[in-house]
Amino acid sequence: MNALNEIFGNDAEFDEIEVQHHDESTSGHQEDTWEVFLGEEKKGLIPLSRSGSGLKTVILTLLNLLVVPKIDNESKSNYVFAFEELENNLHPSLLRRLFQFLEEYAVKEKATIFLTTHSSVALDLFGMSGNAQIIHVTHDGESAKAQTVSAHFEHIGVISELGAKPSDLLQANGIIWVEGPSDCIYLNRWIDILSDGNIQEGRDYQCAFYGGSLLARTQFTSPENAEKELVNLFRVNPNIVVVCDGDRPKKGARVKDRVRRIRAEVKRIPGSHIWVTGAREIENYLPGVVLEKALDRSSLPDPTQYDSFFPRAREPKNSSYLEK
């Protein structure tokens, strides 16, 4: 009862549980059948057959975790439990509490639990957990392939710094890796224009942020070539486009070492693409007429290829495009 109430939280509070024998002559059930009844304050006892599917899912899960080991008189640590798509018929908040209960149970009892799921709740919760491992299973029509992906989340805080949730990355058709939120705004608009609105973020692809200098802590490469100290973003989702600012102040200047390394890595991945801007920053591609409306100014020229768009501490005052 305590476990059931812990999982349901404020959604329900059960104060009684009974198993009753059905009388065929009065209930219409087959002879010698038994049923679980749950009681709530002011509601009385309600048979499980008249309850929602979500409650039945939680009850069946708890029966396996708590009752079966007791009947078998076995230590819970000797069990490997397997549950298939528990998210069916469960509200996300209830599902989250159920998953949290499962994790706490597995740690406390030293049990092993396998879950099959498509739930973003599970990916977001367990993707950051040091007690869980996410395995991505794919099928090419002939054989299945399983690959561990949770290794990318072992670097504490990296995914949070990237501005993404594990489910965003793992479930997307493809990922466009960009430096920050403003790059995502520009790219989404350009893609919308060029596709006549037929390609949309969240449905067809997902933008994720690597945060400029954070790029030095990441890599895009096959597992066998990966460096352990770097986060291998390729294995999070292999369908990638990477966008980097060239950051070149003048013609002939070299891009940063970390950008050259990432460019070489991405070029070795079939079907992947990297765009290192020929201009200094992605903002240099914004037309003056658009900037006039955004900045409420008139007669703005287009930014030049090597303009510093934003003010920089190391450059002379009034030398950036926005200051001119």
The one-letter amino acid code at 223 reads P
Mean pLDDT of 56-63: 91
**pLDDT given for residue 91 in this prediction:** 86
The one-letter amino acid code at 2 reads N
- List, by residue range, all CATH 3.40.50.300 domains of the chain: 2-148
Distances from the Cα of 58 to the Cα of 68, 94, 196, 283, angstroms: 15, 9, 46, 51
Contacts of 243 by beta carbon, 8 Å cutoff, 6+ apart: 176, 177, 178, 179, 183, 187, 274, 275, 277, 282
Which superfamily does 2-148 belong to? Answer: P-loop containing nucleotide triphosphate hydrolases (3.40.50.300)
| pLDDT surpassing 60 at residue 27 | no
**pLDDT given for residue 156 in this prediction:** 36
**pLDDT given for residue 30 in this prediction:** 59
Contacts of 254 by beta carbon, 8 Å cutoff, 6+ apart: 248, 260
What does pTM read for this prediction? 0.59
Structure-block tokens of residue 68? 């079966």
**pLDDT given for residue 68 in this prediction:** 95
Residue whose tokens read 């070489």: 264
Positive or negative, the CA dihedral 115, 119, 122, 123 is: positive
- The model's pLDDT over 190-215, given as tens digits with 9 standing for 90+, comes to 999 999 999 988 888 988 888 766 77
**pLDDT given for residue 152 in this prediction:** 44
- The model's pLDDT over 141-192, given as tens digits with 9 standing for 90+, comes to 889 988 776 544 444 344 555 556 667 777 788 899 998 889 999 999 999 9
**pLDDT given for residue 164 in this prediction:** 60
| pLDDT surpassing 70 at residue 69 | yes
Structure-block tokens of residue 157? 């805080």
Q: How far apart are CA 200 and CA 223, in angstroms?
A: 30
Closest by CA position to 307, among listed 290, 324, 291: 324
**pLDDT given for residue 28 in this prediction:** 56
Mean pLDDT of 65-91: 93
Q: How many CB atoms lie within 10 A of CB 257?
A: 9
Mean pLDDT of 238-248: 91
| pLDDT surpassing 80 at residue 84 | yes
Mean pLDDT of 216-238: 80
**pLDDT given for residue 155 in this prediction:** 42
More confident position, 246 or 227: 246
| pLDDT surpassing 50 at residue 284 | yes
Structure-block tokens of residue 199? 């390609």
- The model's pLDDT over 4-18, given as tens digits with 9 standing for 90+, comes to 878 888 777 787 888
Q: What percent of the chain has pLDDT over 70?
A: 89
Closest by CA position to 58, among listed 114, 96, 20: 96
Q: How far apart are CA 71 and CA 280, in angstroms?
A: 69
| pLDDT surpassing 90 at residue 64 | yes
**pLDDT given for residue 265 in this prediction:** 92
**pLDDT given for residue 21 in this prediction:** 78
Q: How far apart are CA 268 and CA 271, in angstroms?
A: 9
Q: How far apart are CA 11 and CA 211, in angstroms?
A: 40
